[in-house]
């Protein structure tokens, strides 16, 4: 016990700036409890922060070519609930003789907080694009050994080489979708533009997602700006638009809005396309439109955390989900699009890839780095308005 504390203290002294060194020196004087505190302070830093990212990329590229060991008998998946087809896991377990533990999280942020704090034991995680960029930037994503992915050729070109993970060095695309407007065709005309949310005729019958990035992003697009803007003028205008729309909104509501669309309490909702598809199964009058000013395209990805204990089994799972029939079953179950072009042809309810014209209006959310806190301040001000 003492040794471990001492080691932590030495680490804290060794790789920190002068301030921390001074802090740690005082901690020694204060005794064991304070030592623990000093070690904890050191522990809060993202794990791989100390290596320059370029250097890490070179090292990872080399590591990705090395062979892996035999398939481990166990695999720990950390994902959203119900985000695979019911038979995906049992079939994998049977075929590969691997026992799978499936744990669930509620949001990308929960996943990031745990991995950044240093939680271990997970072999596969499923971050959205912007969360993937954080995992890559902090060195928490392990390099993918492409040699083990014999089905890699099935991935549609559209999803290769994303900006958040150049060359797909750390990720395999999983599901994709867009954020647009779902509406009740029996109550309203198709809402072509985000401006419908400012239309008082539908006051109290409309919702936007409960997510600052999505709400501010929609109003940035409305004025023709990038939804990743960091320009103060553009953001101020977006805030004003968001506030004027807020007066008409019934609520900021994410996935649970499906029920309200079905019941007719809500007529127009900012929503993901997969969710609109699910709701339409219950209420055929629900339609979906991509506003003409444009919106978000998103993709969730499969990533192996650097601390993963079962790397080979994780690669086998990645390769397994790239099989056409497996990918098709998953996307048929989730209602979202598959990045697997061979799977697309086999789906019962295929979600077609965006056309070239639509792609020009779609943007991926990029992680905002240090500006994240400024965006949050805007979001707080919108909610308090």
Judged by CB under 8 A, the chain residues 118 through 137 that form the site for another protein are 118-122, 134, 137
Segment interacting with another protein (CB under 8 A) among 99-107, 165-173, 193-201, 217-225: 99-107
Number of C-alpha atoms within 13 angstroms, CB side, residue 68?
Answer: 20
Segment interacting with another protein (CB under 8 A) among 63-71, 227-235, 244-252, 323-331: 244-252
Rounded to whole angstroms, the Cα distance separating 272 from 336 reads 9
Whether the CB-CB separation of 354 and 183 falls below 8 Å is answered with: no
Closer CB to another protein, 236 or 377, in the complex: 377
Query: Does the footprint of another protein cover residue 11 (CB under 8 A)?
Result: no
Closer CB to another protein, 45 or 346, in the complex: 45
- Token pair in block for residue 354: 């965006």
**What is the sign, positive or negative, of the torsion defined by CA atoms of 184, 187, 190, 195?**
negative
Q: What is the DSSP string of 219-251?
A: HHHHTT--TT---HHHHHHHHHHHHHHHTTEEE
The footprint of another protein on residues 33-52 (CB under 8 A) is: 33, 36-37, 39-41, 43-46
How does strand 286-289 pair with strand 172-184? antiparallel
| 336: DSSP letter | S
The binding track of 179-218 with respect to another protein, each residue x by CB under 8 A or -, is -------------------------x--x--xxxx-----
Question: Taking the complex as a whole, how short is the minimal distance between the CB of residue 138 and another protein, in angstroms?
Answer: 5
CA 39 to chain centre: 31
Query: Does the footprint of another protein cover residue 73 (CB under 8 A)?
Result: no
Query: Does the footprint of another protein cover residue 244 (CB under 8 A)?
Result: no
Query: Does the footprint of another protein cover residue 113 (CB under 8 A)?
Result: yes
Query: Does the footprint of another protein cover residue 291 (CB under 8 A)?
Result: no
Rounded to whole angstroms, the Cα distance separating 249 from 215 reads 12
CA 348 to chain centre: 26
Closer CB to another protein, 16 or 199, in the complex: 16
Q: Quick one: which H or E segment has residue 286?
A: strand 286-289
Segment interacting with another protein (CB under 8 A) among 154-162, 166-174, 311-319, 372-380: 372-380
Question: Taking the complex as a whole, how short is the minimal distance between the CB of residue 292 and another protein, in angstroms?
Answer: 27
Rounded to whole angstroms, the Cα distance separating 88 from 364 reads 28
Question: Taking the complex as a whole, how short is the minimal distance between the CB of residue 95 and another protein, in angstroms?
Answer: 18
Closer CB to another protein, 192 or 282, in the complex: 282
């Amino acid at each position: 016990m003492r040794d471990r504390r001492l080691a932590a203290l030495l680490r804290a002294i060794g790789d920190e700036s002068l301030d921390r060194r001074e802090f740690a020196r005082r901690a020694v004087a204060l005794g064991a409890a304070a030592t623990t505190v000093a070690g904890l302070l050191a522990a809060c830093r993202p794990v791989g922060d100390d290596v320059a990212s370029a250097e890490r990329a070179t090292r990872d590229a080399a590591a990705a070519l090395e062979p892996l060991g035999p398939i481990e008998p166990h695999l720990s998946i950390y994902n959203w609930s119900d985000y695979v087809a019911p038979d995906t896991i049992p079939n994998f377990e049977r075929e590969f003789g691997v026992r799978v533990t499936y744990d669930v999280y509620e949001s990308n942020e929960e996943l990031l907080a745990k991995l950044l704090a240093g939680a271990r034991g997970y072999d596969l995680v499923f971050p959205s694009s912007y969360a993937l960029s954080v995992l890559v930037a902090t060195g928490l994503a392990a390099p993918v050994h492409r040699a083990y992915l014999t089905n890699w050729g099935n991935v549609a070109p559209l999803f290769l080489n994303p900006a958040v993970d150049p060359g797909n060095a750390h990720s395999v695309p999983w599901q994709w979708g867009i954020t647009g407007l779902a509406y009740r065709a029996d109550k309203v005309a198709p809402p072509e533009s985000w401006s419908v949310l400012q239309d008082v005729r539908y006051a109290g019958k409309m919702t936007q997602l409960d997510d600052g990035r999505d709400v501010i992003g929609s109003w940035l697009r409305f004025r023709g700006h990038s939804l990743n803007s960091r320009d103060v003028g553009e953001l101020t205008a977006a805030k004003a638009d968001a506030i004027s729309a807020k007066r008409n909104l019934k609520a900021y509501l994410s996935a649970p809005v499906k029920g309200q669309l079905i019941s007719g309490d809500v007529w127009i909702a900012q929503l993901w396309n997969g969710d609109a598809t699910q709701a339409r199964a219950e209420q055929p009058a629900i339609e979906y439109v991509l506003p003409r000013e444009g919106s978000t395209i998103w993709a969730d990805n499969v990533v192996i955390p650097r601390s993963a204990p079962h790397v080979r089994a994780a690669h086998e799972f990645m390769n397994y989900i790239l099989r056409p029939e497996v990918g098709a079953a998953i996307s048929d179950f989730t209602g979202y699009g598959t990045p697997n072009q061979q799977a697309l042809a086999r789906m019962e309810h295929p979600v077609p890839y965006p056309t070239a014209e639509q792609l020009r209006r779609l943007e991926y959310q990029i992680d905002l780095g240090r500006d994240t806190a400024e965006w949050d301040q805007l979001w707080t001000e919108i909610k308090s308005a």
